[in-house]
Structure 1
């Protein structure tokens, strides 16, 4: 019999996220891990948006094994550390990040660039993607953007003043070089800063 799914509603009106992690039992059968609770832990970055760090990994290929019996697998250990002390940036060097972001109505996040290739999918609402060239596009539920280490910002343009949610998978990349100039990470300060919006 399946366990009930999370149906809790957050203060912003969006449904909470249930994150399930799988593992293996001693017979090699797939099971749901009990090492990290499936409940989310949201970090308010500012009144404009909040994050839930869904998962992180370090190194390629990812090590899914425990170094000895009774220990957590290497990837779960890394994620547990990042949950207790979230990384200061958006992406991780030589790693991956799975992040949910909730955007407040009519708010625009800061212009930024990560040293990663990001897959961003709109889960709820509508968002405007703004590029530093001045180009913009509207993204609706189910739309995806492949963000290739470019300067960009997000603005919640959901009708009737609703919150919007995106899920991002960030995979570390080499620095982008344009016209002989390296374009590395460009953030307006630590992600935990309360002034991280325009």
Structure 2
């Protein structure tokens, strides 16, 4: 019988955080388990944090930071240059204004995730704010 008060029995979540490389390409910056922090008997995890709102991260394609958590199924995150990262149950993907696409590799199973969007300040280049980009 499991102990419902023992968080050690929970599957450790993974965080996948996107950003941009020196050439401005959308890339995965972090792909790792979320670090566990302790304070006495309390254990907690911080998937990602930003200082203030709206955020001032290096937003390049949209004016949001997207917190995506996969609740069911599997997905593939597709970044610039067709770089693919598999996303599994309870993984968190933090999109920091990066151009991306999603793919469900299953032919029979569906996926479900929750997303929270947080407004971010636009990045300026040559004195002009970059516009949101939505490719179809």
Normalised to the residue count of structure 1, the TM-score between the two structures is: 0.35
Q: Between the two structures, name the one with larger relative contact order (CA 8 Å, sep ≥ 6).
A: 2
Task: State which structure, 1 or 2, has the greater radius of gyration over its C-alpha atoms.
Answer: 1
Structure with more of its chain in strand, by fraction: 2
